[in-house]
Amino acid sequence: MIAKFSLFFLIIFLSIAINLPDSMIARLGLDANYLLAALASVAITGLIVHRRMLLVLLVLACTIGANLPESVVDYVGLDRDILFATLIALIVVPFVAGKVEIK
C-alpha cells in the first residue's frame, strides 16, 4: 500500500517538475534531463510490474513508429525495418511462449 502511494506520488511530482519553466527548474538546482530520465525509469518500472500494459504500450509505440512519415523517422534517427521487426517479435514471441510448455 505504501509502495503504491510512494510510486504514485513520485510520478505526479516528476510530471509536475518536468512541466515547470526551465528557469524555475534551474533555480531549484535540478536538470530537466535528469527529471525526464527519472520519470521514464519510474514509469517503465511501474509498467514492468504490470507486464500486459507494458506489452500493449510497446506494440502501440512500435506501430506508431513504423508508420511515421519517412522525414520524421529520419529526423528522429529510427529505422522502420527495426521497428517493424520489433513489432513482429512483440506479437509472435508471447504467442509462441504461451504455446510451448516447459515441464
Do the Cβ atoms of 45 and 10 come closer than 8 Å? no
pLDDT at 102: 64
Do the Cβ atoms of 66 and 87 come closer than 8 Å? yes
Do the Cβ atoms of 42 and 7 come closer than 8 Å? yes
pLDDT at 95: 75
Chain-centroid distance, C-alpha 98? 24
pLDDT at 101: 67
Residue 34 cell numbers, joined: 535528469
- The predicted-structure confidence for 2-61, as pLDDT tens digits, reads as follows 777 777 788 788 888 878 888 888 888 888 788 888 888 777 777 767 777 777 788 888
What pTM does this model have? 0.50
- The predicted-structure confidence for 50-102, as pLDDT tens digits, reads as follows 777 777 788 888 888 888 888 888 888 888 888 888 888 888 877 777 777 66
Residue 103's pLDDT band (cuts 50, 70, 90) = low
Do the Cβ atoms of 93 and 87 come closer than 8 Å? no
Domain spans in the chain, listed from the N-terminal domain onward: 1-49, 50-103
